[in-house]
Chains A and B, each alone.
Chain A
Amino acid sequence: MAGVNMTGVSPKTAQVSDLIWKYMRPENMPHIWCPGCGHGIIMREVAQAVENLGIDRDKLMIVSGIGCSSRAAGYMDANTLHTTHGRAIAFATGIKIANPELEVIVLTGDGDASAIGGNHLIHACRRNIGLTVVVMNNSIYGMTGGQYSPTTPTGEFGTTAPYGNIDRDFDVAQLAIGAGATYAAKGSVYHVPQTVKLIENGIKHKGFSIIDVADVCPTYYGRKNKKGSAVNMMQYQKDNMVPADKAKTMTEEELKGKIVVGLLKETEYPEYTEEYQKIIDRFVKGAK
């Protein structure tokens, strides 16, 4: 049974690649996501990054919130926790403080991370706690029917923005940098090898990491904004990609509609659970 092969990898009983057999729960597949939904691609990118780093699955903790994307916790075969809306980072913070040896990866949507959970996001950045947050950013609330989210670009449409969205959109990675994240990158569902590498480096990084991945939701975002099929949306990513280094030299106007891929920031700062441990050590020593 795939669900219990936590340490070894049992012989395959489903027609899947070794990677999927090892990191997913094939008994729950095919998954619930729509045809062409990018979430499955991002989940595979995460699995590949973990595999490349050779992380023991007993030490791997996947935490998700609520939304289409957050279903990922139910499909991945590791220690997994599906939490409440917007609170994935709050739960993950608790897990990391109690178990600093775990690799804690948060899988969250744009609404979950930057609206309902925006407060948790900025404070986790500020603390520089060693979590890796992968934002499955499709610029819409899929599960609840296509409402616009904080990452829906100005002027685009959602069921709650039938005349065009007048809000300014958040750049989640820049928001995280502003709040103190020590690793921030952007990936996409088209640029898989690059995104895998960026997630890998985010996991390796000591401190708070965020990888904002441009996702595709053909069902709501695609239809509401006449972006065509999943193939058209991925082709758009391919044609409009700008490497992060080049993006740094471009104006906001020039970057409109571009898909930035690459590392935005990587810097060192004391990690939260290590600082916390120092206090514990001080008292343990004091007690002797």
Chain B
Amino acid sequence: MMKKLVINSAWCKGCGICAAFCPKGALEVVKEKVRRKEGTDCILCGQCELRCPDYAIYVDETKEDGNA
């Protein structure tokens, strides 16, 4: 099982909720879109996914064969 953080910029409205409550400060909003902040660690806790009103950020779990 491989986990990774996915950001769907097309749906992100830049509200900043995910960034505000990320326990690692791993996100920032730049020009109304969220992105990973350089030099920070994402621990794949999924807090951002729980509170994103736009389903634009989530922790993806891909099985080893590459299928979801």
Contact = CB atoms under 8 A, between A and B. Distances in A.
Interface of A: 11-12, 14-18, 20, 24, 29-31, 33-41, 44, 189-190, 192-193, 218, 229-231, 234-235, 238
18 contacts: A15-B6, A15-B10, A16-B55, A16-B58, A17-B6, A17-B59, A17-B60, A29-B54, A29-B55, A30-B11, A33-B53, A36-B13, A36-B15, A39-B53, A40-B52, A40-B53, A190-B51, A238-B21
A33 B54 CA distance: 9
A18 B53 contact: no
Given A17-B49, A192-B50, A44 B55 contact: yes
B2 interface: no
Contacts of B56: 30
A193 B53 CA distance: 15
B17 A231 contact: yes
Given A24-B55, A36-B13, A234-B17, 6 more contacts: A20-B58, A231-B15, A231-B20, A234-B21, A234-B51, A238-B21
B54 A192 contact: no
B16 A189 contact: no
B-side interface mostly: loop
Interface of B: 6, 8, 10-11, 13-17, 20-21, 32, 49-56, 58-60, 68
Contacts of B11: 29-30
A17 B17 contact: no
B7 to A, nearest CB: 9
A81 B42 CA distance: 40
A193 B55 contact: no
Nearest to B58: A17
B40 to A, nearest CB: 18
A149 B20 CA distance: 29
A231 B16 CA distance: 7
A14 B20 CA distance: 26
B51 A192 contact: yes
Nearest to A12: B68
